[in-house]
Amino acid sequence: MTRRDVPELDETLAALVEAIDTMTPPRSEGPGVILTLSGLVVSGRVIPRWQWFDEVEHASRAAFTVHTGGSIDDEHGGWASLFKDVSASLMQDHDDYAAAKDAFRSLPERYQRRLAPIEPTSFIHLRHARVFSARGRGIPGNGMHWRGRLSEVAGWSFGLLEADPPADVIEDPGHHM
């Protein structure tokens, strides 16, 4: 924690996430990252937040009974409609942000510095994410959508971790390093 109990963000990671969040076309292969936070290692591909909510909404639909016409069986909670509303709101925010960014760039530089990020990016959104155990096992094996607070990231690097350790690694429970 820094002064006034405000968590310190890695400015480079925050800038990367902010740039990706402003992208309009969906990303199938965002940059791979390896994050360390609270003793965990998480690896996945960074995607824009609006895309994360959109994909989670679609995944939620698959988890519930969907009737002809797209209505969701409310008996099972209707989570997909919640994510759909959030996704639609984020798409509108994204469009508004793009228009504001164009207007912002037309301002003289001295005004741009004064108006610099008022609302900083605070979450990173991953697809095909896995949480890794101390033995190197990635769970879940097929990946998941993952959302994490940037202020909790202790360290990071570009790359992706494999789901399982290489086959040539032999685990010897009697051997300690």
pLDDT at 177: 44
pTM of the predicted protein model: 0.66
Residue 130 lies in a domain: yes
Q: How far apart are CA 62 and CA 18, in angstroms?
A: 29
165 assigned to some structural domain: no
* C-alpha span between 162 and 32 (Å, rounded): 11
Q: Is residue 176 part of a domain?
A: no
Taking only the tens of pLDDT, the chain with its 177 residues reads 444 565 688 999 999 999 898 887 777 788 999 999 988 899 999 999 888 888 887 776 666 555 666 665 544 455 556 666 666 776 666 677 667 767 777 878 877 766 665 566 889 999 999 999 777 778 888 889 999 999 999 999 999 997 655 555 455 555 454
pLDDT at residue 99 in the model: 74
The CA-atom distances, in angstroms, between 97 and each of 18, 76, 100, 112, 173 are: 12, 35, 5, 15, 54
What own/partner pairs with CB < 8 Å and gap ≥ 24 does 58-67 have? 59/145
Q: Where are the alpha helices (DSSP H) in the chain?
A: 11-21, 49-63, 79-105, 109-114
What total number of domains does the chain contain? 1
| Domain membership flag for residue 134 | yes
Q: In which domain, by residue range, is 42 found?
A: 3-158
Q: Let me know if residue 55 belongs to a domain.
A: yes
Q: In this structure, is residue 177 part of a structural domain?
A: no
Q: Is residue 89 part of a domain?
A: yes
For residue 108, being part of any structural domain is answered with yes
Phi, psi of 101 (to 5 degrees): -65, -40
Give the chain's end-to-end CA distance (angstroms, integer): 33
